[in-house]
Structure 1
Amino acid sequence: MKEADYGFNELVHNKSFQRWINGRANPKEKVYWDEWVADNPKNRSLAKRAHREIAGFTIKPGSNPDRYRAWEELQQRIEKAEGASSNKSYNFHPKNKLQWFFRAAAVFLVVAATGIAVNFLNSQESQEQAEQIVRNEIVTEYGEQKTIKLNDGSRIILNAHSNLVYTVDPADSNEVEVFLDGEAHFSVAKRENPGDAPFKVRTSAGYVKVMGTEFVVSTRNQGTQVVLEEGSVALAPMNRESRETVMKPGELAEFNADSKHIRSRLVNTEVYSSWTTYQLVFDKTPLADVVDRLENTFGIKVVVRQADLYERTISGAIDNSSLEVITSALSNTLDTPITVRDEAVYVGK
């Protein structure tokens, strides 16, 4: 396809792109944006940034600490008000949340413009609340993994080309919230007491609530994919008011922000978590899925020259330490030549 050059703001305000992000694109639009995103890593990176903006939050914290603190204070007061009107401690009301979000944004602009923010920020309560929250950002490049160990005993392995922001309340090490764009494996320490705060993973499509378990979350393909290895987690897309779906071990679940139903099926979980041990395990995995894995891990474009190869499935384990090792193993498995040239992998003759 002919590449179109979009700026960030232009993409965020593009109605067709917004429909595609929200799963409402018509067939022609879907083909266009699917191909545009697949065209090169620059497009994929730009689309992810625009996706986060449209979803209502940005992974990277703001650069102005005073405004950021005021924004945090507004959010905390909103959450207090919502909590007082609900009998359930951890219910999430996405539509109400969005309404509060936009009201809060409007209030924040008025406060900043009139100078009232100075008094607002100087209140003892806002200072104490802002100081309580510790916020960290972790970023991985292509071909890189990072491990994050939290004070509550939880461990996160962040896969290649991913962004993760996590907040921790020093007064309660169990109160952890993570924002993820990319792919990560979570090993969450068990919450022993019923009153303990759950560990939450948020994506642009919704959230995963955890009380102690091991699972993988990926936002690689527009929506959110969760694979549960052990324990249990509760899922809630943005538009499902307080309704949560509880997963069972061995299940893969997929949803996006507008999902009315969460799609789930039983899988071999090792296929989705093996990357944490620098191996790729495949179990009758379609070649298209293998292609996605290579592109997201190494930041290269994969071109399959023979359409019939997409009908092939792959089983077995491959060392994930280098692109050269993987392509060599795939070439032997598929019995077809694979060449690497100009930051692209060509499969087939």
Structure 2
Amino acid sequence: MRYEDYQLMDFVNDQFFVTWVRNPDPESDAFWQAWLEKHPDKQELLEQARELLSFLTFKTQQPTSEEQRQVKLAIKRSIHAETRLLTKSSTDNKPPVDRKPIHYWRPYYKIVAFCTGILFWSAAFLLFKAGYTQKSYHTKYGETKTIDLPDGSTVILNANSTLHYSNDWQESRLREVWLNGEAFFQVRRKPHWKEARFIVHTNQLNIEVLGTTFNVNNRRGIVKVVLNSGKVKLRHIDNDKDSLVMEPKDLVEFTDNKKPFVKKVVEPEMYTSWRHHKLIFNETPLKEIAQLLEDNYGRPVIIQDKELADRRFTGAIPNENVELFLTVLGESLNVDIQSKDDTIQINTHSK
């Protein structure tokens, strides 16, 4: 899902956004300021998400045993003080004045205070665990990044993508990462680990591997998985029994939990060449290339007519420089490509 389609809780649950709010750096500041300039209508929504996260912010360092003891002691003192106050009020010789509500609640004060303490410490512990072990990476438009995972596996993150995972991996636990965008994975085998599986989570699929190389593209509500080597198993997130095992050179596309997997045999290098700073196309419609430009460079593309949008292109183009990419594409297809106000317009040459 693209950020412009996010609702309030999508921002609150997005690790890159959370990291920016709590621990901003020049890179994330530049990204979100540029994004807000393009989407000023989202300013209020972003501020609401920031306020909600500020409310939820907590101390990330685990409390010491002495700090825990002092808080528990304070809770106990509060309970005792409340009990003494209620006891004194009930034995006072003065006529009671409208004390029935207090009288009715008196037997439950200890229970309420005790439960409040338990809820406080439980929530603090869960928040601590969730925030303390989280590692997150994000790439800007036109950027790729190589990430070394705790188990020695490698991820190449494509442009405009986010990857996060828990950094306390152990031999007895699943190796899990969460991806929004596109990435190429080279997973190291761990045959001697008690739990050797590696799982990539997307918003619609779980991709389970042991040791392999593969590409995952999770954009626009569509998940595409291309397997270079090894084996992977795909599972619907809402139907664990519905699964599919992939073989090398398989491409599987998934759009909706109610629809079946779509599988075909492809040349994997066409879908993973981006990690070598080039893009390979084979009879690819111009409208699909336009979507790629929007996803990887954040540049909206306008194609003037349907016939032009369906025109197909075959070839390889370097993708490190978007202007060079557009020049090569325009000359190859004999079309006029103009950049104006961060928007790319593609037209047929005027006669």
**TM-score computed with the length of structure 1 as normaliser:** 0.65
Deviation at 1:192, TM superposition (A): 2.3
1:145 aligns with 2:147: no
1:140 Cα deviation after fit: 1.0
The 5-angstrom pairing of residues 25-44 of structure 1 reads 42=39
Write the distance in 2 (CA, Å) between the matches of 1:292 and 1:300.
Answer: 9
TM-superposed deviation, 1:271 = 1.8
Q: For the Cα contact (< 8 Å) 2:172–2:195, is it kept in 1?
A: no
What SS does structure 1 have at the residue aligned with 2:167?
Answer: strand
Bigger shift: 203-212 or 162-171?
A: 162-171
Partner amino acid for 1:164? L
Find the counterpart in structure 1 of residue 180 from structure 2. Answer: 181
**Pairing 1:64–2:66 present:** no
What letter corresponds to residue 64 of structure 1 in structure 2?
T
With over 3 angstroms needed to count, the CA separation of the structure-2 counterparts of 1:120 and 1:339, relative to structure 1, is closer
Deviations 1:116-135 (A, max 9, x none): 13454799xx89x9499832
Q: Do the aligned partners of residues 316 and 232 (structure 1) sit closer, same or farther apart at CA in structure 2, a change above 3 Å counting?
A: same
CA deviation after TM superposition for structure 1 residue 197, in Å: 2.6
Map residues 198-209 of structure 1 onto 2, 5 A cutoff: 198-209=197-208
Give the conservation status (yes or no) of the 8 Å contact 2:235–2:243: yes
* Aligned residue in 2 for 1:33: none
Provide the rounded CA distance (Å) in 2 between the counterparts of 1:254 and 1:112. 52
Match status 1:225 vs 2:227: no
Q: Deviations over 1:68-108 (max 9, x none)?
A: 99xxxxxxxxxxxxxxxxxxxxxxxxxxxxxxxxxxxxxxx
How many angstroms does 1:333 deviate by? 1.2
Residue from 113, 116, 122 that aligns with 1:114: 116
- Partner secondary structure for residue 192 of structure 1: coil
Say whether the 8 Å CA contact 1:268–1:283 is kept in structure 2.
no
1:240 is aligned to 239
Say whether the 8 Å CA contact 1:295–1:301 is kept in structure 2.
yes
- Cα deviation code 1:239-283 (max 9, x no counterpart): 223332111111111224524521111122122111111101111
CA separation of 1:138/1:333 partners in 2, compared to 1, >3 Å: closer, same or farther?
A: same
**Runs of 5+ unmatched residues, structure 1:** 13-39, 54-59, 70-109
Gaps of 5+ in 2: 12-36, 63-111
Deviation at 1:66?
6.9
1:42–1:182: structure 2 CA closer, same or farther, 3 Å change rule? farther
SS of 1:337 mapped into structure 2: strand
Structure 1 residues 219 and 6 mapped into 2: Cα distance closer, same or farther (>3 Å)? closer
Letter in 2 for 1:202: H
Aligned Cα RMSD in Å? 3.9
For residue 178 of structure 1, report the CA deviation from its aligned partner: 0.6
Q: Distance in 2 between matches of 1:251 and 1:223?
A: 16
SS of structure 2 residue aligned to 1:157 = strand
Instruction: Using structure 2 for the length normalisation, give the TM-score.
Output: 0.65
1:168 paired residue number: 167
CA distance in 2, matches of 1:171, 1:314: 47
CA distance in 2, matches of 1:183, 1:267: 18
Structure 1 segment 284-303 matched on structure 2, within 5 A: 284-303=283-302
Q: Distance in 1 between the 2:113 and 2:333 partners?
A: 62
Q: Structure 2: which amino acid aligns with 1:184?
A: A
Can you list the C-alpha shifts for 1:219-258, whole angstroms capped at 9, x where unaligned? 1121311111111111011222333211111111122452
Change (3 A) 1:263 1:225: same
Structure number, greater radius of gyration? 2
Q: Which moved more, 1:173-182 or 1:329-338?
A: 173-182
**Does the 8 Å CA contact 1:239/1:257 hold for their aligned counterparts?**
no
What pairs with 1:316-327 in structure 2 (closer than 5 Å)?
A: 316-327=315-326
